């Protein structure tokens, strides 16, 4: 189990005073399997870092759930700005198993950082942004995968990216994430899929 500050400390030494003040602002919240929170409300004011467990972000469109992203240990839960800004979507974070989350209040952290050494501040901000950008990079890669890969290639990409996802998410959620049907996933897993790769 990793705390976001511990991740930062592997690359930069923090003063005891700054670390103590930083930790005091970060709350650790446990969630049960199936618990949900509003991404639209909560992610406007907090960063969510998964210390243990897993979660998915989904939105509802056309009366159906669409899985937007997954997040696992040592990752931030991510959501694109357009989706976060668009009030027409009902966007939700669902926890797939018992999960411990470190919640980082954005505004309070910004105020805290202004009180301490600029070098340390810059590094902390940089590392937190890098964590978020890593997740955003995966979202961009997923767009490319959805546009150019066959269903089987999408599945293989997902399993390579998330080796334990089949143990933690159900097939409906995975099918939605990959943009394929559950029936197609069943055929892929049974070795009966005979789809053709899209033109690249």
Structure confidence by residue, pLDDT tens digits, 117-167:
555 556 666 666 666 667 667 777 888 888 899 999 999 999 998 888 999
Query: Residue 124 and residue 17: Cα distance in Å, rounded?
Result: 14
Average pLDDT score over residue span 61-80: 85
Q: What is the pLDDT of residue 126?
A: 63
Whether the per-residue pLDDT at 38 is higher than 80: the answer is yes
| Lowest-confidence segment of 54-58, 82-86, 96-100 by average pLDDT | 82-86
Contact 73, 3 (CB under 8 A): no
pLDDT score at 44: 74
Identify the residue with better confidence: 148 or 90.
148
Instruction: Check: CB of residue 69 under 8 Å from CB of residue 79.
Output: yes
Tokens of 39: 């991404």
* Residues 6-24, mean pLDDT to the nearest whole number: 79
The mean pLDDT of 108-122, rounded to a whole number, is: 69
Are 126 and 149 contacting, i.e. CB atoms less than 8 angstroms apart?
no
**Interval 167-194 mean pLDDT:** 88
How far apart are the C-alpha atoms of 124 and 117, rounded to whole Å?
11
Q: Please state, in angstroms and rounded to a whole number, the distance separating the CA atoms of residues 118 and 170.
A: 45
Place of tokens 């357009």: 82
pLDDT at 55 over 90: yes
pLDDT of residue 199: 47
What average pLDDT score do residues 52-81 get? Answer: 86
Helix (H, G, I), strand (E, B) or coil at 199: coil
Q: Residue 131: its pLDDT value, please?
A: 65
In 3D space, the residue among 58, 11, 12, 13 whose CA is nearest the CA of residue 34 turns out to be 58
Q: How confident is the model at residue 111 (pLDDT cuts 50, 70, 90)?
A: confident
Q: What strands lie across the sheet with 36-38, from one edge to the other? A: 36-38, 90-95, 55-61, 64-71
Query: Six-digit token pair at 139?
Result: 């979202």
What is the average pLDDT score of the chain? 81
Could you give the strand order of the β-sheet that contains 46-52, starting from the edge strand earlier in sequence?
A: 27-31, 99-105, 46-52, 75-76
Token pair belonging to 92: 């939700």
What's the average model confidence in pLDDT over 47-54?
Answer: 92
């Amino acid at each position: 189990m990793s705390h976001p500050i511990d991740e930062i400390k592997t690359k930069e030494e923090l003063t005891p005073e700054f670390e103590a003040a930083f930790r005091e602002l970060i709350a650790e919240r446990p969630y049960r399997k199936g618990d949900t929170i509003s991404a639209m409300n909560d992610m406007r004011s907090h960063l969510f870092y998964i210390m243990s467990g897993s979660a998915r972000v989904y939105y509802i469109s056309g009366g159906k759930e669409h899985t937007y992203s997954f997040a696992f240990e040592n990752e931030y839960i991510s959501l694109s700005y357009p989706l976060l800004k668009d009030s027409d979507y009902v966007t939700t974070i669902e926890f797939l198993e018992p999960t411990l989350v470190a919640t980082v209040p954005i505004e309070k952290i910004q105020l805290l950082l202004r009180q301490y050494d600029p070098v340390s501040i810059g590094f902390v901000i940089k590392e937190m942004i890098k964590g978020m950008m890593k997740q955003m990079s995966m979202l961009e890669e997923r767009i490319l995968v959805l546009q150019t890969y066959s269903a089987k290639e999408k599945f293989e990409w997902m399993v390579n990216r998330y080796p334990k996802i089949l143990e933690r998410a159900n097939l409906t959620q995975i099918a939605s994430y990959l943009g394929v049907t559950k029936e197609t996933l069943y055929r892929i897993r049974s070795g009966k899929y005979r789809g053709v790769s899209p033109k690249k």
